[in-house]
Amino acid sequence: MKTKKKTLTIAGSDATGGAGLQADLKTFQEYGTFGMSAITSIVTMDINDNWSHTIETIEPEIVGRQLDTIFAGGKPDALKTGMLGDIRTIAVVRDAIERYQPKNIVIDPVLACKGTAGILLSENADSIRELLFPVADVTTPNLVEAGILSGLGELKTVSEIEKAAIILHGYGAKNVIIKGGRRFDNQHDEALDVFYDGHDFHHLKSPLVHSDNNHGAGCTFAAAITAGLANGQSTLDAVTTAKAFVHAAITNAQPFNQYLGHIWHGAYRDNGRFKF
Ligand code: PXL
């Protein structure tokens, strides 16, 4: 059997299994890579309080030990970060990246969860910008995160999104993909993502899926890019495949409760789109 490429997620646990490190590991497996995880936080949701989220952070020192344990087996072929939760954890992650020098680093700058109205982790924004963007090969903010991280606030037009991408690239992220999706005002029948590699913009479109069952889409998108890079795809190819992977997953989503529904991480494979 061919040696599997190794992928790593440094992320929070979503107890429901749709987002967070669970989504990442499922996606890594779908891509035929060997997934590993360092857990940074545990997210729970309260059915009796409008599905409000609580984040329990893991001690940063324990995150560091998990990373040392993982890197003791060699460098993963690609890694991603998700919800980090504590600014001390962001520093621990940067330190590990400096010591181990892994390649193919995808920073998903999680500041909010779908299913929550507000921003959960705004205090993380400065640290992500200062410590993680300079080592990022790819960053994958959604519209809200891109607005906060760029300092531009609410992004309403394609040109504002492109401006935000240029600013985030200026902070050191080599490639920026801003997930506009359907939250984007004048997009009625397409999900639009804007990709910027420091030279060119690419507008990536997929047909809009009219479904509220999209929990886990953001994490899964970043995980799919990570696994694609591990497998040797170019950045643009990895992003394009990841978009198709997530589109299939949303199309085959299933309700979880009255608040959310989970995307199905196995849909792309079900559709026969992976050939290993
Ligand atoms: O979708 C953002 C997200 C990231 N990470 C974890 C989460 C969520 C949203 O619920 O639970 C662990």
Q: Would residue 80 count as lying in a domain? A: yes
> What distance in Å separates the CA atoms of residue 146 and residue 239, rounded to the nearest whole number?
17
Note the pLDDT of residue 274. Answer: 82
Using DSSP's 3-state secondary structure scheme, residue 190 falls into strand
Angle 226-231-232 from CA coordinates, rounded to 5°: 100
What pLDDT, in 10s, does the model give residues 46-82?
999 999 899 999 999 999 999 999 999 999 999 999 9
Task: Please tell me the distance between residue 2's alpha carbon and the centre of ligand 1 in angstroms.
Answer: 33
Q: What are phi and psi of 253, to 5 degrees?
A: -70, 160
Q: Is the residue at 204 inside a domain?
A: yes
Q: Is residue 267 part of a domain?
A: no
Total structural domains in the chain? 1
Is residue 70 within 8 Å of 42, Cβ to Cβ? Answer: no
Residue 30 backbone phi and psi in degrees, to 5: -55, -35
In a domain, 273, yes or no: no
Identify whether 206 is part of a domain. Answer: yes
Ligand 1 atom 10 nearest Cα:
113
pLDDT, one tens digit per residue, over 139-188 is 999 999 999 999 999 999 999 999 999 999 999 999 999 998 666 655 56
* 105 lies in some domain: yes
Task: Tell me, yes or no, whether 265 lies in a domain.
Answer: no
User: How many angstroms separate the CA atoms of 49 and 226, rounded?
Assistant: 35
**Residue 181: CB atoms within 10 Å:** 23
Q: Is the dihedral of CA 51, 267, 251, 193 positive or negative?
A: positive
Q: Could you give the residue ranges of the DSSP H alpha helices within the chain?
A: 20-30, 60-71, 87-100, 124-127, 143-150, 158-170, 217-230, 235-251, 267-270
Find the CATH number of the domain harbouring 211.
Answer: 3.40.1190.20
Domain that holds residue 66: 6-259
Q: For atom 11 of ligand 1, which residue has the closest CA?
A: 14
* Contact call for residues 86 and 112 (beta carbons, < 8 A): no
User: Which atom of ligand 1 sits closest to the CA of residue 216?
Assistant: 1
Q: Which residues line ligand 1 (CB under 6 A)?
A: 11-14, 19-20, 43, 82-83, 110, 113-114, 218-219
Closest CA to 147 of 124, 163, 127, 169: 163
Tokens of 32: 């035929």
- Residue 184 has a pLDDT of 60
Query: Alpha-carbon distance 232 to 165, whole Å?
Result: 24
The predicted structure's pLDDT at residue 218? 95
Residue 271, domain member (yes or no) = no
Residue closest by Cα to atom 5 of ligand 1: 20
Percent of the chain predicted with pLDDT > 90: 84
| Residue from 13, 14, 108, 119 to probe ligand 1 pocket by mutation (most atoms less than 8 Å from CB) | 14
pLDDT tens by residue, 181-239? 666 655 567 889 999 999 999 999 988 888 888 999 999 999 999 999 999 999 999 99
Distance CA 5, CA 7 (A): 7
Instruction: Please choose from 26, 46, 110, 262 the residue to mutate so as to test ligand 1's pocket, defined by most ligand atoms within 8 A of CB.
Output: 110
